[in-house]
Amino acid sequence: MIYSGSVVYVEPENCGTAKETLKKYEQIEVFAVSDDRKQIVIAIETEGDRELEDLCRELKEYDEILEIAHHIFHFEDEVEEILQGRKVPSLDGFSKSSRKKDFNG
């Protein structure tokens, strides 16, 4: 399980629509909106890094969502699984070259 504290960037005039869009996802909890209505603070809970990446890719398809920045991660369960040898971590998507490849198609 991965928990991410993230910021969603939006245009102020689209803040309300973006907030309602985010609330439709059961993996997302909306915590706050900045005074200038350009940032929405959320928490995301997914099973793993691939699901987090897929969810963010899906969210960025909405016109009202400009960008998503992850500021804090908690993945204690993942670490415990790795330490006990029950899981081998996949680092796909975490390297700069992988993100650049995904971005450029």
Please report which confidence band the pLDDT of residue 82 belongs to, taking 50, 70 and 90 as the band edges.
Answer: confident
For residue 82, is it within any domain? yes
For residue 78, is it within any domain? yes
Helices (H), the chain: 15-23, 49-59, 76-83, 96-104
Q: How many domains does one find in the chain?
A: 1
Q: Is the pLDDT of residue 99 over 70?
A: no
For residue 102, is it within any domain? no
pLDDT tens, residue by residue, 28-74: 999 999 999 999 999 999 988 889 999 999 999 999 999 999 998 87
Mean pLDDT of the 76-101 span: 64
Instruction: Name, in order, each residue with C-beta under 8 angstroms of 102's C-beta and a sequence gap of 6 or more.
Output: 93
CATH code for position 46: 3.30.70.920
For residue 96, is it within any domain? no
Question: What residues make up the domain containing 82?
Answer: 2-89
